[in-house]
Amino acid sequence: MILQNTIVLTILAVMSVVGLNMHGRFNYFPIISKYVDGPFIYGIIMMIHSAFGANGLLDKPTRLSALIDQTWFKFVTLLIVSYATVRDIEDMVFLLLLFLTSVQLLRTKQERREHPYIL
């Protein structure tokens, strides 16, 4: 069973690399990409997904739980995700501030009492 899973995962990994090499440099929708690839739309989409989208999709390993729950680790992760989305230091700071303040503003009064700081 483990061998079959390993084979399937290896095949999926190889197919992904081949697909990226074949289609990675071709833009099928240039008009849409022009708007979505900007720092605002793409940045917000990635920040929302990174912060909220993966909850429940994967079970985190118990070895990483202590590290992931650290506030400094969350902040560094948000910095990395923010930089990866916009690829510019100044835009990274603005996007991160916009995202964190938006999340704090969307919280209820009770949630703000429980989380007085953004992280």
36 touches 30 (CB < 8 A): no
81 touches 46 (CB < 8 A): yes
Q: Specify the number of domains making up the chain.
A: 2
pLDDT in tens, 42-96: 777 777 777 766 655 566 677 777 877 788 878 887 888 887 877 777 777 888 8
With a threshold of 0.85, does the pTM exceed it?
A: no
Highest mean pLDDT out of 37-41, 86-90, 99-103: 99-103
Domain of 52, in residue numbers: 38-114
42 and 95: one domain? yes
61 and 81: one domain? yes
DSSP the chain: -HHHHHHHHHHHHHHHHHHHHHHTT--S-HHHHHHHTSHHHHHHHHHHIIIIITTTTSPPPHHHHHHHT-HHHHHHHHHHHHHHHH--HHHHHHHHHHHHHHHHHHS-HHHHHH-SS--
Q: Is residue 20 part of a domain?
A: yes
pLDDT in tens, 3-29: 666 787 778 777 878 876 777 667 777
48 and 81: one domain? yes
69 and 99: one domain? yes
